[in-house]
Amino acid sequence: MLDPKANERRAKNYTRPLTRPGELAKAWREAGLTDVAETALHIRMDYASFDDYWAPVDGKDGPHAEYAATLDAAARSHLKAAVRLAYLDGEPDGPRSYAATAWAVKGTAPA
């Protein structure tokens, strides 16, 4: 929304291979594994404050940090201010908890 060029990066990040339901299990079956089962793991990501939430963006790893590193100082500041407003959502800064999902798969290797 703030950066039209970011749409391409976002699409790439959220539509990578093996990120949709069934894709990981299909890959395991195609690799010859049997009794393949896939499930979604849901966890809560807890943050003490906005600064805690934003800290990975200031780092060097992951798609958010990679994207932020492409921005000049003004654009980065604008992004941080917009994300802070969303995080606060009209409430005082403090703890928040957000859901995260990961795919897990298991299978049996052929003998």
Chain segment 44-101, per-residue pLDDT in tens: 999 999 999 999 999 988 888 988 999 999 999 999 999 999 999 999 999 999 999 8
pTM of this structure: 0.71
Bridge partners of 44, per DSSP, are 99
> So what's the pLDDT on residue 111?
83
| Dist CA 101 CA 55 (whole Å) | 20
- pLDDT of amino acid 91: 97
Element (H, E) at 38: strand 34-47
- pLDDT, tens digit (0-9, with 9 covering 90-100), for 23-43: 999 999 999 999 999 999 999
> What digits encode the pLDDT tens for the residues 4-26?
777 776 776 667 778 889 999 99
Is residue 59 within 8 A of residue 65, CB to CB? The reply is yes
Compute, in degrees rounded to 10, the torsion defined by CA atoms 93, 97, 98, 103. Answer: 150
So where are the chain's domains?
6-108
Q: And the tokens for 103?
A: 């795919």
